[in-house]
Amino acid sequence: MLSLWIVRHGETDWNVQARVQGWTDIPLNVTGELQAHQLGKAVSGVPFREIIASDLSRALTTAKILSEYTGTPVSVDETLRERGFGSAEGMPRSQADELYPDGAPDAEPLDSIDARAQDFLNRIIRNNAKGRFVCVTHGGFVRAVMRVLFSQQVGSPPNTSVTSLAFANGRWILREFGATPHL
């Protein structure tokens, strides 16, 4: 069976400050690194074929920490990036929502991140008949996966949460959304 664990990166200072991150490359803070280590310890005995990470440092650092505990190789895939929020990036979310109630005019359209999510899922299916994979990404990408697979609008999952999917009988099955038993 093909299994995909989608992990949201650890906490950043901008998460704490409720700032719009998008493509701005904000690193993990101390809590985010601790969260990644806690998840790493929790999954240390789980066999994974590969850890695939967004190229943004908050996701890539989370992936590398998981790799330390699992011995699983990490590859980078820009498809897993957060949605680009254009000129709203760096603003407090409340200010961005007030200034751009329909989103910043230079933000990445929702259908673009949804297409990236669909492309990633199609490649996983096409290239792998079975195995367990970890994808370390961002809240916006997790929401895109939920939209394209299940037509669900969800909030951002917690930092270092695991959303678990399985592919069987030609369709994706949601096993768990935003799980954080390791925290």
Q: Are the CB atoms for 103 and 85 separated by under 8 Å?
A: yes
Instruction: Give 90-94 contacts, CB < 8 A, sequence gap 24+.
Output: 90/14, 90/19, 90/20, 90/24, 91/19, 91/20, 92/17, 92/18, 92/19, 92/20, 93/18, 93/19, 93/20, 94/18
**Beta partners for 167?**
2, 172
**Which residue matches tokens 């590859």?**
75
Residue 38 burial (C-beta neighbours within 10 Å; 0-12, 13-18, 19+): middle
Query: Amino acid letter at 71?
Result: G
Active centre residues (catalytic): 9, 82
